[in-house]
Amino acid sequence: MQSWLLLGGKMELMSLHCPPAARLPLRLARGSPPLLQRASFLSGRPLPSRVTFSGNRRCPNARGSKSLDFRPPAAGPAQAVTGPSLQTAGDTKELSISEGKLAFVAGAAGRVGSRTVRELLKLGFSIRAGVRNAQRAETLVQSVRQMKLDDAGLSASEIQPVERLEIVECNLENPQEIGPAIGGASIVICCIGASEKEVFDVTGPYRIDYKASENLIKAATVAKADHFILVTSLGTNKIGFPASLLNLFWGVLFWKRKAEEALIASGLPYTIVRPGGMERPTDAFKETHNIILADGDTYFGGLVSNLQVAELIAFMAKNRSLSFCKVVEVIAETTAPLKPMGELLAKIPSQRVYTSSLKEDKLDPIATSVSSSSSDDVKEELAQVGVLKTKPLSPYTA
């Protein structure tokens, strides 16, 4: 019989002598060392701290050993937990999802972020919604609970959208919190921006639009995310009106451009979305205005609704081959024809050649046909140009 004794502040493993009447026959495996076969166990004598076993196997009888389950029985019937779970950045719980279907959305409580979360849920994604304060996410949770099954493309027997939503508190200004918040997400979407209500915060655009975005980009690079979607603004790479007017707001467009440069330099597969003004249009704006997509540095101004931008981001997340390494400007006009997003997105040139081993969802038939038909044109352009010409990273460089 062995026991742990505390002697002089030092805990030692002691062998206690059993009386002859209580002594049980001891059977040792063949080939055991002489120390265990013949050594007399004296009361109060410490056992050797290190025992060398012969042979390559440290535990000769491990094959016949069995593990015991010491888990206590449940005190009562188990209660099902439904709805989104609240986690901090240090938690390690992961959503059970298929490959490439978990997305982390920063700024999920904002106007664009909340709509992006709902659109991604409709496409079958599981979401880690990053928010600075969990109380701000209550409106988002309630809106997800009210989503109709028909809108989400689900039946009553399938997993509900709210069960694929996970609220994660994360301060993007603290780099140590970002990695655990991203978790195992394969897609990272950044919808943050300096608050327009805090116009007297001189450091807001620098801290939020640039440094917080840069911290998220670095964390996504360490986490080896498959795709990064960054929402900035129209005119970030332009000089003149109205870019100069917007830059009066403590250089907001300048710092957004610096975030774009950090994303391009990171080496991550990316998509930069530059929407027009989103303050005035409502969600019903799409009923009278159709979106127009263009390459970077095309438009000086324009309007588009938050919902239209969210729908575009969700489409990009599902069809990453069509949005691979592109800078996309989006506005909406009444005179624009209604076209599928895949067709509009395929016409925008990529700054890199697309290579991916991930299995993406099936594209829309129109988007697939457009992508396959435009691949020959892209190859011809590459053959003529040789190498894609990169644009200056900043207007200040020019």
Residue pLDDT, tens place only, 329-338 = 999 999 999 9
Alpha-carbon distance of 126 to 166, in angstroms, equals 8
The string of pLDDT tens digits covering residues 16-44 is: 444 444 444 444 444 444 444 444 444 44
Q: What is the pLDDT of residue 344?
A: 96
Tell me which of 216-220, 221-225, 282-286, 377-381 is least confident. 377-381
| Domain boundaries defined on the chain | 85-385
Task: Look over the chain and give the mean of its residue pLDDT values, rounded to a whole number.
Answer: 74
Residue whose structure tokens are 């301060």: 171
Torsion-angle region of 223 (φ positive above 0: left; ψ -120 to 50: alpha; else: beta)? alpha
Greater pLDDT, 208 or 202: 208
Higher pLDDT, 80 or 383: 383
Measuring CA to CA, which residue among 240, 278, 263 is closest to residue 116? 278
- Does the pLDDT value for residue 74 go beyond 50? no
Percentage with pLDDT > 70 across the chain = 57
pLDDT at 248 (0 to 100): 60
Tokens matching residue 356: 């991916």
> Quick check: 343 and 290 in contact, CB under 8 A?
no
CA-closest candidate to residue 275, choices 247, 256, 301:
301
Q: What number is the average pLDDT over the span 341-360?
A: 80
Mean pLDDT of 190-197: 86
pLDDT greater than 80 at residue 277:
yes
The pair of structure tokens assigned to 383 is: 């053959």
Amino acid identity, position 248: L
In degrees, rounded to 5, the angle at the alpha carbon of residue 156 between the alpha carbons of residues 111 and 148 is 30
Q: Other C-beta atoms within 10 Å of 68: how many?
A: 5
The pLDDT assigned to 116 comes to 98
Half-sphere exposure of 195 (CA within 13 A, CB side): 6
Q: What is the Cβ-side half-sphere exposure of residue 253, based on CA atoms within 13 angstroms? A: 24
- The tokens for 350 are 């990529």
Higher confidence at residue 349 or residue 8? Answer: 349
Q: Label the pairing between strands 102-106 and 187-190.
A: parallel
**pLDDT tens track for 100-116:** 699 999 999 999 999 99
> Would you state the pLDDT for residue 201?
78
Q: Higher-confidence residue: 229 or 378?
A: 229
CATH superfamily of 85-385: NAD(P)-binding Rossmann-like Domain (3.40.50.720)
Query: According to the per-residue pLDDT averaged within each range, which of 7-11, 245-249, 306-310, 371-375 is highest?
Result: 306-310
Give CA–CA dist 197/180, Å, rounded: 30
Average pLDDT estimate for 348-370: 61
The per-residue pLDDT for 166 is 96
Three-class SS of the chain = CEEEEEECCEEEEEECCCCHHHCCCCCCCCCCCHHHHHCCCCCCCECCCCCCCCCCCCCCCHHHCCCCCCCCCCCCCCCCCCCCEEECCCCCCCCCCCCCCEEEEECCCCHHHHHHHHHHHHCCCEEEEEECCHHHHHHHHHHHHCCCHHHHCCCCCCCCHHHHEEEEECCCCCHHHHHHHHCCCCEEEECCCCCCCCCCCCCHHHHHHHHHHHHHHHHHHHCCCCEEEEECCCCCCCCCCCHHHHCCCCCHHHHHHHHHHHHHHHCCCEEEEEECECCCCCHHHHHCCEEEEEECCCCCCCECCHHHHHHHHHHHHHCCCCCCCEEEEEEEECCCCCCCHHHHHHCCCCCCCCCCCCCCCCCCHHHHHHHHHHHHHHHHHHHHHCCCCCCCCCCCCC
b/e code 269-281 from CB counts within 10 Å (16+ = b) = bbbbbbbbbbeeb
Write the single-letter amino acid at 393. Answer: L
Give, in order, the Cα–Cα distances in Å from 196 to each of 37, 134, 206, 295, 325. 81, 21, 14, 27, 29
pLDDT at position 306: 96
Q: How far is CA 379 from the centre of its chain?
A: 32
> Is 124 in contact with 203 (CB distance < 8 Å)?
no
Structure-model confidence comparison of residues 304 and 7, the more confident one:
304
pLDDT value at residue 300 = 80
Token pair 């994604």: residue:
125
Residue 191, both tokens: 């919808």
